[in-house]
Structure 1
Amino acid sequence: MEFIIKGGTIITSTSSYAADVYVKDGKIAAIGKNLPDDGIKIIDASGKYILPGAIDAHTHLEFPFNGTMSADDYFAGTRAAACGGVTTVFDFVTQKKGQGIREAVKPRNDLCAPKACVDYSFHVALTDLTDDVLEEFSTAADAGLPSYKLFMVYKKDGLMMNDADIYKALQRSKETGTLIAVHAENPDVIDLNIDKFKKEGKLSPWYHYLSRPEAVEAEADIRAIHWAKTLDAPLYIVHLANAQGMQAVKDAVNEGYEIYAETCPQYLNFTSDVYKREDGRNFVCSPPIKGKESQIALWQGIEEGYIDTVATDHCPFKQEQKDWGKDDFTKIPNGCMGVENLYPYMLSQANKGIISFQKAVELCAENPARIFGCTEKGAVEVGKDADIAIYDPNIDFTITNAKMHSDCDYTIWEGTKLQGYITATYVRGQQVFKDGKFIGEAGFGKFIKCQPRPIA
């Protein structure tokens, strides 16, 4: 398959320029003006932007949690991704006790491969950090699995890693070119707060936020950063949502340490006031959406370059599942949708002048590709995979669940007005989305083998 996208403006993380893009055999074969086009299919992108497909570095598809399963399987979740200009997703595999890293990934890959509509890779959430698992960091990285997540929370669920585990994992990551990510919250304070609120009969979604307020996340952020600094090892903080943690990241980066911060669209668009709404249970996620001060700090972190990626933590549950906790916030499955909204939301913010289009591409495509070793992804460049989103800045789009492509039966983004929208998505040169309609197919997506980091 070959075609030329003509008349558009290419956006990179540092520039924008008018040029045509020649795609052949799934790759970007040439970029320039007046490319030879005899007998080649022409895609007219006049007045539109040609962007690298987004990489959502944080999703939970077919994810068992709180006694249920997230609403999107690997087909529905990657279909929604395609329709939002996301061409690669990173899903999380949770290691079971006694499993190795590659052993944990294999059944998830077997489940994903026949369903995925876009390309995919995995982060492995480690729960049993044995000596054998630490030894496997090197061979797992060589197999394309160089990133591991540690939970600093969910002690009662058997997921939490203690400080010694974090220290050992960071130490080993430095030796193997792998990257440790942390979900940073303090479990003991959370459990103390929950017990107090339950005894007082304070069970509305508002108390989900009050049980895990800013300081609960910030303390764990600071602790994880401290261990990374002690070892001079890189660290990636997932779904950063609080002002104090943001400041700790800034301080560490300014001191010369390799600390990466990811935040999510829900933290940028909403505040903790959503938990006072009648549908507040639909917004329950962990860490919870924080107050206005934290939201302002995150946007400032983006502007100043201390937020490296925006990803979604896409983990939707249907209304019936969320309603389990309508009278008790502790029973609400934690998670929100977002994979289809990530790129359109950030690009709309660019269209409104809040950030630049270059910054949106940096946060949603180029940085995640660089940080996680997706060498064929993340940019409209010759030799890269032809993962391309075409964006029309002149479309006015209002998000409704009826327009979305998830299997969830509502969206927290209902009624959100966007300036501009994705009109086409290509994965390795294959069009998977066109003018509001999914036109991809299950099983087209392939596993992306990520590259380990250089060892100092």
Structure 2
Amino acid sequence: MDTVIKNGTIVTATDTFRGDISIKDGKIQTIAVNIDPGNAKVIDAEGRLVLPGAIDAHTHLAMPFGGTVSSDDYEAGTRAAACGGVTTVFDFALQTKGEGIIETAQRRNKICEPQACVDYAFHVAITDLTPKVLEEFQTAVDYGIPSFKVFMVYKKEGLMVDDGVLCKILKKSKETGALISVHAENPDLIDLRTEQFLKEGKTSAWYHYLSRPEFVEAEADKRAIHWAKSLNAPLYIVHLANKEGMEEVKKARDEGYEIYAETCPQYLHFTSDVYKREDGRNFVCSPPMKGQESQDALWEGIKTGDIATIATDHCPFQSYEKDWGKDDFTKIPNGCMGIENMYPYMLSEANKGKISFNKVVELCSSNPAKIFGCAPAKGTIVPGSDADIVIYDPNKDFVVSKDNMHSDVDHTIWEGTELKGYPVMTLSRGRVVFKDGEFLGEPGWGKMLKRRRK
């Protein structure tokens, strides 16, 4: 053995128990009550929780959008991930016109491979569905990329697919074992409302929210779920943020359909009131934060199991870029940070008693691993799985600040947030990549995952 983690309380999605963990060649070797370390390196986890590393299944690193590029490249984003206890990052590779699915992922991998500090995978966002691309679904699944994304918005940006294309994609996914994720909002309603607000001189960040309020997202959620149910195809709704959509997900799941919903920490912590703040433009993302009723519904969905995963939609832009929209909300690049905040925030909520630590592991680690086909190597602590491990001190108070974060963005929407408990160490395949506030990893350590959905 190379390393032994001793005296900790091990937490998985289903169990909590005292035990030691031995690690050899990047894998968990043994879990037992008292392991003799011999000459192995010892990590003492007395008084601390030992958790599987989190999986952020929704990020946009180095993504061109809104006239710029998201401020965290693959090195900065995965460095921040490691420092927040995230040991696997899923990024979206956007297809360009005429490009194949595997070709799209390989193009992005050439950028990511030398930069990634933790392991990673790609969802391919399909924007140009040709007959050739449709036939490539099976090849992509066999290659190890079994998850694709479609946008029901961003028509002007050339990313949107219409209902006919969405149904073709869902039908083919059912045949091939792929899983389709959707960004669900109604673009026509957004455009209609945006045009009216601009005409009336209503240009602050508050009108970003009012241009795409609850019902604009809910309609698209219902439409996507309707098509998935009609075709009996699995569906994964990204960044769900509204009560009505949450109710539709619950109804479909109660009827036995394979519908998954993801939400994000920003929707669980902030409401649409942030858009009334002086710095409201920094919170602009799509879909936007919603009202208190929606936030309450999301927390209830977590408790009932109808929210399957927590992810971040990490897509930050520098504050000076957000300032482009100071007098016109349509010019604000859409996206917020969260990759370093997700696990600490959710674990803090558990530490405060809102949910259990097991539920946090389920939402942030084991469920995304199972849904996207990287279990049991990822998402749990069992012999044979990768030694992606987070050591969490429940007694460490932490206040989030730009100055103690590790990405390249120059601000954080989480500034001043007080957390009860915080990760003090992260291991990626047995290697310590974060310890006591310091990043210890290196670019190029992360490996691309080939996945198989069951």
1:408 aligns with 2:409: yes
- C-alpha offsets along residues 317-374 of structure 1, whole Å, 9 cap, x if unaligned? 0011100000000000000000000000000000000010000000000000000001
Partner of 1:418: 419
Partner of 2:201: 201
Partner of 1:103: 103
Amino acid at match of 1:98: G
| TM-score when normalising by structure 2 | 0.99
Amino acid at match of 1:392: D
C-alpha displacement of 1:130: 1.1
C-alpha displacement of 1:36: 2.6
Distance in 2 separating the partners of 1:34 and 1:214: 52
Partner of 1:38: 38
Distance in 2 separating the partners of 1:360 and 1:108: 30
Structure 1, unmatched stretches of 5+, are none
Amino acid at match of 1:335: G
C-alpha displacement of 1:41: 1.3
Partner of 2:433: 432
C-alpha displacement of 1:13: 0.8
C-alpha displacement of 1:157: 1.0
Distance in 2 separating the partners of 1:213 and 1:437: 40
* SS in structure 2 at match of 1:4: strand
Distance in 1 separating the partners of 2:399 and 2:392: 15
Partner of 2:302: 302
Partner of 1:353: 353
Partner of 2:397: 396
C-alpha displacement of 1:268: 0.2
* SS in structure 2 at match of 1:50: strand
Number of residue pairs matched by the alignment: 453
C-alpha displacement of 1:432: 0.3
- C-alpha offsets along residues 382-405 of structure 1, whole Å, 9 cap, x if unaligned? 100000000000000000000000
1:49 aligns with 2:57: no
Distance in 2 separating the partners of 1:39 and 1:66: 54
% identity of equivalent residues: 68
| TM-score when normalising by structure 1 | 0.99
Q: Write out the 4+ residue segments of structure 1 that deviate beyond 6 Å after TM superposition.
A: none
- C-alpha offsets along residues 107-165 of structure 1, whole Å, 9 cap, x if unaligned? 21000000000000000110011111111011111111110001000111111111111
Partner of 2:330: 330
* SS in structure 1 at match of 2:136: helix
* SS in structure 2 at match of 1:340: coil
* SS in structure 2 at match of 1:19: strand
Distance in 2 separating the partners of 1:44 and 1:83: 19
Distance in 2 separating the partners of 1:11 and 1:409: 34
Between 128-137 and 250-259, report the one with greater CA deviation.
128-137
Partner of 1:167: 167
1:279-318 to 2 correspondence within 5 Å?
279-318=279-318
1:74-153 to 2 correspondence within 5 Å?
74-153=74-153
Distance in 2 separating the partners of 1:228 and 1:260: 11
C-alpha displacement of 1:179: 0.2
Amino acid at match of 1:292: Q
Distance in 2 separating the partners of 1:383 and 1:173: 30
Amino acid at match of 1:247: E
1:56-75 to 2 correspondence within 5 Å?
56-75=56-75
Distance in 1 separating the partners of 2:149 and 2:249: 18
Partner of 2:383: 382
* SS in structure 2 at match of 1:299: helix
Amino acid at match of 1:101: I
- C-alpha offsets along residues 163-206 of structure 1, whole Å, 9 cap, x if unaligned? 11111111100111100000000000000000000100000000
Partner of 2:275: 275
Distance in 2 separating the partners of 1:25 and 1:15: 25
Distance in 2 separating the partners of 1:76 and 1:204: 30
Amino acid at match of 2:265: P
C-alpha displacement of 1:253: 0.1
Amino acid at match of 1:232: N
Distance in 2 separating the partners of 1:157 and 1:77: 24
Structure 2, unmatched stretches of 5+, are none
Amino acid at match of 1:408: V
Partner of 2:13: 13
Amino acid at match of 1:448: L
C-alpha displacement of 1:106: 1.3
Partner of 1:178: 178
Distance in 2 separating the partners of 1:138 and 1:426: 34
- C-alpha offsets along residues 383-432 of structure 1, whole Å, 9 cap, x if unaligned? 00000000000000000000000100100000000000000000000110
Distance in 1 separating the partners of 2:372 and 2:361: 16
Distance in 1 separating the partners of 2:34 and 2:85: 27
Compute the RMSD of aligned alpha carbons.
0.7
Distance in 1 separating the partners of 2:202 and 2:412: 26
Partner of 1:249: 249
* SS in structure 1 at match of 2:343: helix
Partner of 1:448: 449
